[in-house]
Amino acid sequence: MVPVGTASGTRKLRVLALHGYLQNAEVFRSRTGALRKALKKHCDLVFLDAPHEIKVDLQGNEIKSCGGKEGEDQSYYGWWIASEGGPPRESKSAEGWERSLGLLEEALERDGPFDGVLGFSMGAAASALLCAAIESKKVQNHEQFKFAILFGGFVPRDPVLADSLLSVKLGLPSLHYSGQNDQLVVEQRSRELLQSFGEEESTFVLHPQGHCIPSLREVREKVKEFVAAQQSICTTSNKS
């Protein structure tokens, strides 16, 4: 897809959007409606389903995890699975990231190039892991993203995933959000992600809500300002 130009001569950016655990691409698209509206002149978000299906009961409790997408009732996915049970964000032994990385690499080749990446919760962790894989040349068919926007992100507990993330230094500009009332991914865990991003290139912002992409005007305006700045940089770079 060719980016659409704007009247000012800039081009719209393309941003890969990765959903959180027990979500899917359509749910994430719906929950970012206000943000997408704020960013519509600056970028297009491209949403992608994770490959691991998570079975849930009528109360929303996880009852089975598997690696496929068989059946017609799939709705909930994850970027990896906790091998010993429990929430994947706390698991010290995760399974399935390599499969997810392969799917993401295929998406980059098929739908890219992408200028930036945006993720929520497990999707924010997956976004950072993808940036690290590109930086370490494990993924070679896509240049490093020009920026990252991460909501409620964290460094995985799994030591292999954590090392693959923390062993590289990412110089791309990044915007990190953490909720003051987030009981699932506390502020300290989101701050740990900053270790992989340069201090001068990173911005960390606390918002007053919980584990979500906050529905606050000041958040939308901050993200819009950040993306508009990246759009200007990308346009200038393309002209030089």
Q: Give the catalytic positions in this structure.
A: 121, 182, 211
Measured distance CA(149)–CA(192) in Å, rounded: 15
CA-wise closest residue to 190 among 163, 130, 150 = 150
Measured distance CA(113)–CA(73) in Å, rounded: 32
Measured distance CA(27)–CA(97) in Å, rounded: 21
Measured distance CA(24)–CA(47) in Å, rounded: 9
CA-wise closest residue to 108 among 154, 135, 142, 66 = 142
Under 8 Å CB-to-CB from 164, ≥6 apart: which residues?
129, 132, 133, 136
